[in-house]
Amino acid sequence: MSFPRCCFICIFILLGLGIELANSQPYRVVGGKLLPYKTIIVDQSGHGNFKTIQSAIDSIPSNNRYWVSINVKTGIYREKVITIPVDKPYILLQGEGKTKTLVQWGDHDNTLQSATFTTLADNIIIKFMSFINSYKNYKPVRPAVAALVSGDKSYFPSVGFFSFQDTLWDNRGTHYYKSCTIQGAADFIFGDGQSLYEDCTISVIAAPLGPGISGFITAQGRVSPSQSSGFVFKNCVIDGTGTTYLGRPWREYARVLFYHTKMSNIIHPNRWDPGHFRNQV
């Protein structure tokens, strides 16, 4: 694909994102800086406003119009399911680092109910934390979603997503993933999102699939040539163990672009498997 068209796709996705950081959404102005209207502290030790992330989210009123920051202290938060509902936009959920603030659960069996974390609202920012689906029984492999992202205009700077199959369900909406780590083996970035992945690490753990069995990084779900959805990977790194395809289609018009991405020798020589459709929900 030529350089101009690649840049056009990236710019198109970024313009579609357009998170409303201050446009009619009230902020506090402190020292010339725009800050969230309200800050909530989550600390398992009891030194914050809440001990669980979900209880902090639940405290925000429906149809919220103000940016609210939920600051999550270091720790492993074993919560199922953390959900940002569709009627609670303008939430900034931030931890203290991808290796310090961890949200973990081990549900499996199907994509619809297994997600450790789900965000359905528009205008959401998640940063400096990781979401883990800890299900480890690979024989047989089961869907085990770490995060389901369905809201529009969502931004993920420095976030980790860890599982084996179906790690990140990039379901629908415009999304921007910056400096994230995404780990898995089978269809572990899938969905119908219009998403840009920039400076991300794609960590493949396909070796447990067994000898001669390759994994799949992506399974994109565009259903019509008129849809604007697709995955763009820009300045990313792909490494890990086993052998993997860059992707396979989930729907008939799947669209994925890797641009300026460093790939190790784990990539299958054919790179894509266009005839092997993903057949799960």
**CA gap 106, 84 in Å, rounded:** 19
Q: What is the largest CA-CA distance in the chain?
A: 60
**CA gap 103, 121 in Å, rounded:** 19
Q: Which among 187, 192, 239, 273 is annotated as catalytic? A: 187
* Helix extents (H) in the chain: 3-17, 53-58, 111-114
Residue identified by tokens 């067994």 is 210
Q: Where are the beta strands (DSSP E) in 95-229?
A: 101-105, 117-119, 124-127, 129-133, 147-149, 154-157, 159-162, 168-170, 174-178, 181-184, 186-191, 194-198, 201-205, 215-220
Q: Which among 166, 170, 192, 273 is annotated as catalytic? A: 166
Q: What's the CA angle centered on 199, arms 36 and 156, to 5 degrees?
A: 30
166 is catalytic: yes
87 is catalytic: no
Cβ neighbours of 120 (radius 10 Å): 18
Handedness of CA 110, 161, 23, 42 (dihedral sign): positive
Burial state string for 172-181 with b = 16 or more CB within 10 A and e = fewer than 16:
bbbbbbebbb
Any idea what DSSP says for residue 165?
B
- Give which of 203, 214, 205 is closest to 244, Cα–Cα: 214
Q: What's the CA angle centered on 164, arms 159 and 169, to 5 degrees?
A: 55
**CA gap 181, 161 in Å, rounded:** 6
Residues forming the active site: 166, 187
